[in-house]
Every structure is written in structure tokens, then in C-alpha cells.
Amino acid sequence: MTSRPSLLAALSKQADRDINIASLFETEADRLDRFVMREGPIRADFSKQALDKNALEALLKLAAKCDLEEWRAKLFSGERVNTSEDRAVLHMALRGVGGTQENQADVAQMRAHMADYANAIRADGKFKNIVHIGIGGSDLGPRLVADAFEAAADQSLTLRFAENVDGASVNDAIKGLNPADTLAVVVSKSFGTQETKMNGESVRDWLGEHGGTNMIAVTANRERAINFGIAAENIFDFWDWVGGRYSVWSAVGLSLQIAYGPDVFAEFLDGAKAMDMHFRDQPLQENLPVMLALTGIWNRNGLGYGSQAVIPYSRRLRKFSAFLQQLEMESNGKSATRQGEATTLTCPVIWGDEGTNGQHAFFQWLHQGPSAGRYGGAPVDFVAVLKDHENRPAHHAALLANCFAQSEALMLGKDEATVREENADRDDIDALAPQKTFPGNRPSTTITLDELSANALGHLIALYEHKTFVQGVIWDVNSFDQWGVELGKVLATKILEEMSKDIAGNHDPSTTALMKLVQN
């Protein structure tokens, strides 16, 4: 097989020409048909990307050369595609797709156990508050979903989160709550994470006499949870074939089930399942996650963009870009291939904030800022919800108008001649015109959800999960390990111990000086 660097270099050559996005609508009569795709409540419009029919063909050929279909089959069959940790990757099995019969039986049992437990807690009424303790994949997914579900919640249970080791995180989570009617759910795949263990200990202290009964755990390491002091019957299991950042569908979502009910959670899983089946069964050229991934590859490897913005025009999806930062950057932010060869053109920086807030912050840069990318700024994924439930139609109309306007403005820009015409009376026009000109031709995708249902959210998250997998295949990296987070964790443990014992240790001069700031 041709080497990956040469395939990606060929793509960059193919992109080395000027493409005018707006004029593609004239030259490609079927552009909207070709570049708009739908799966259930999700519609994705890729037509404002700076890629034409030829580019798309090149991308599909690249996917074939990278054996994408074979990798997809391996993933769903439960092959150990996480090679560096020798594990299968089967978060789809949590939604009822793929895996062995044994996996499916384990999942069915786990789902029944979670639903029974959640129903019992909801019916009992003893608990008024849930404090979910976890970080990274044990936090970001549940937190994103909690925000989204909150609109439809019956408000009988409050759900709070404690993730950071900063004492403020625990303090804010328990503020004003009564230990007697608070259930703490400690969530950690490894049950070895410093932040989660420390937060768990602090919350257990706060629970006082209720510590034994009001704390449960979710983990893939039952033994450690027992050693931590959680009673065996209060532990919900998941498995090593569920990666942390892909785990919201497992018992990691227990707090969500308790707070919002098992039915809502089941809809969420069903939405993801529909996207799984779409990804598994649709040909590459009609496959939404594949298209999302390939446009990203075009922007990264063809056009040279180093970052990708994701802007949800929805307050309730405000955590989406933070969630994707872990999903995509922890999965594909790597510089070594599966074979250990050096590679540089992998995951871009993923960033963003909710719209319209971002418009009053970094959109200036998106519209007029420079970047290494061929057309400047950064590609944007706009995410919008068509029908909302906030009972403020005027607000919703304004929100959507802003979203649609931004993608149009990024694409069309405003040329210098127009600026000169509009400002003909200014005697500093030569200086002013370039400053008020918008270059345009900046690529974006707009993804709409018919409404922010649990089902649609399941679709959306699974869409990006599969996108991440596809990009990992093309970049030839293992998307399911995260060795890059280890070094800092080890050093933090060492430094904490040295600082507590007032030892200087063996560090560089800058770190030593920093440690001295907090040592006596």
C-alpha cells in the first residue's frame, strides 16, 4: 500500500488550486443534493465547504486506499482495534449494535439494572439531589447531555457535577445541599484518577453518617471501588471495551437516568443506534460520519488548517465543543502512527463556544483573521436546533438567523469594491477599505437537529464519534488510547508528595522555583 504521508501529500497537491465556494453553486447544479445528507433528525449541509466534486472523489479514493470499509467492519465485529492496549472498541454495543452475543447479554443486564435502580430512586423520593463525581470521559458526556435534557426535566431531582480537583469544584457541587437527601455517584473507569478519588473522599466526608448509604460507584475496576469503600452491591460495572470518552452510553450515564428517567435515556441510546447503523451500512459516499470526517481531512490535510471551530447555536449544547475536544483531540491528537512512524498532519485543535456569544468574541478572527489554512480563519461546524421548547419564538428566530447569517457571511465575504462604494465619502478610504473587507470563501458545515430530543442528541454524538474513528483510520493512528495524558499525571503525583514533605526533588529550575512558592 502507498504510504500514508504520500497519500496525504497527494491530497494537499490536489487542494493546491483556488476553489471559490460560492461559484460552485453555479458550476455544480446538483451541489445541494450531493452535499446535503440526512439521517433521522440530523441534516448536515456540507455545500459551503471549499471542496468540489473532484475533491470529493479524491477523498473517497483516499478512504478506499486507507481500507476504511475494512476498518469499519473490524470495529463493528469487535476486533481488537485498540492495538496498543489490546482491546476491542464496542461502545456501539451499548446501543445494541455490534459485539458478540456475550457483549449484548452483558449490556442487556446492565441496562436493566440501571433502569431498575433509577426507577426505584425516582419512586422512593428520598433523594432530592445527585452529585456526579468524575472527570474527562466520566464527566463531559454526562454534563453535555444533562444540559440538553434539563429543558424537558421534571425538576424533581437536581443534578450537580464535581470534576476538577480544585476544591471549588466540590464546594460548588454540594453548596446548599443536604447530605441526607443527596446521592453521590462516583464515576471512574479506572477508579485510579486522582481528581475523582479526592472529590469522592471529600464528598464522603461531607455526607458524614450517610456516607455508607448515599454513595455509589460506576467503574470498570470493581476491586478498586471496593477498596475505596463502596459496598459491592452499590457498584455498577462497565467494561474495558468502552473507552472513557465513549462511555456516556454505559453506566457512566446512570446519573442521567436517575435525574431524567430511563425512558429518556433509552431514546438517547436509540438515536445513537440509528447513527451506528447508518455508519455501518451506508456506502461511503452517502455516509454522514464519513462525509464529516472527509471534509475535515480536506481542511486539515488538503487546505492546511490547524484548527476546527464548532459553534452550537444552542445554549443547551454549550458543552458540545468541550466534549468534542476530548473526543477528537484525545483520540487523534497523536504524532505516531499505529506502526510507530512519525506523522504530523493529524487532529486539528478543536475549539468553540455557543453562538451567538462567540460572535462577540472570536468571530472577528474567523471572518478576517489570518491562519495557516489556505483561505484564512478556521473551518466551522455550525450546529443549530430547528424547533426549540423555550416558548420564546422571537429569541429562537433571532438565534437561527444569526447562525445562518454567519455561514453565509463567511462564505460570501464583502469585497473591497463594495466597501469603497459604501464609504466613498471617507478621505481615508485607502486605509479603511482593506480593514473593512471580508475575504469570504471560508468553509463551514451546518448541522441541524429537527429538535433537541434525546434521540437527536444520540444521533449527534454518535455522528462525531464515528467521524473521529474515520479520521483516525485515514491518519493511521490508534484513536482509542491516550498515552499523552500519562506523563503529567505521574509528575503531578511526585510533585504533590514532594511539596507535602517539603522536599525539593529533582526538577528543572523553573519548576523548582514554582514549588518553592508554596513550600515553607
Catalytic residue positions, numbered: 330, 360, 489
Distance CA 444, CA 407 (A): 6
Residue 433: CA count within 13 A, CB half-sphere? 16
Residues that bind ligand F6P (CB under 6 A): 135-138, 188-190, 193, 196, 244-245, 330, 482, 485
Distance of CA 44 to the CA centre of its chain: 17
Q: Which three cell numbers stand for residue 5?
A: 504521508
Q: Which three cell numbers stand for residue 382?
A: 455550525
Q: Which three cell numbers stand for residue 40?
A: 433521522
Residue 472: exposure state from Cβ atoms within 10 A (0-12, 13-18, ≥19): buried
Closest distance of CB 109 from ligand F6P, Å = 21
Distance CA 267, CA 251 (A): 15
- Reduced to 3 states (helix: H, G, I; strand: E, B; else coil), residue 115 is helix
C-alpha closest to that of 406 among 351, 354, 355, 460: 355
Closest distance of CB 461 from ligand F6P, Å = 15
Single-letter amino acid, residue 325: Q
Closest distance of CB 333 from ligand F6P, Å = 12
Q: Taking the CA atoms of the chain, what radius of gyration do you get in angstroms?
A: 25
- Sorted by sequence, the CB contacts under 8 Å of residue 174 that are 6+ apart come out as 131, 160, 162, 182, 203, 206
DSSP state, residue 370: -
String of DSSP letters for 262-329: HHHHHHHHHHHHHHHHHHHHS-GGG-HHHHHHHHHHIIIIIS---EEEEEEE-GGGTTHHHHHIIIII
- Give 3-state DSSP helix, strand, coil % of the chain, rounded to 5: 55, 10, 30
Contact between residue 1 and residue 65 where contact means Cβ atoms under 8 Å apart:
yes
Distance CA 409, CA 10 (A): 31
Question: Distance between terminal CA atoms of the chain?
Answer: 60
Closest distance of CB 207 from ligand F6P, Å = 20
In the block, residue with C-alpha cell 456475550: 102
Closest distance of CB 243 from ligand F6P, Å = 7
String of DSSP letters for 114-162: HHHHHHHHHHH----EEEEE--GGGTHHHHHHHHHHHTT--SSSEEEEE
Residue 168: exposure state from Cβ atoms within 10 A (0-12, 13-18, ≥19): exposed
Closest distance of CB 190 from ligand F6P, Å = 3
Contact between residue 440 and residue 411 where contact means Cβ atoms under 8 Å apart:
yes
Distance CA 322, CA 464 (A): 13
Closest distance of CB 481 from ligand F6P, Å = 9
Closest distance of CB 218 from ligand F6P, Å = 9
Closest distance of CB 334 from ligand F6P, Å = 13
In the block, residue with C-alpha cell 460552485: 24
Q: Which three cell numbers stand for residue 261?
A: 428517567
Distance CA 55, CA 77 (A): 31
**Is the preceding peptide bond at 356 cis, omega within 30 degrees of 0?**
yes
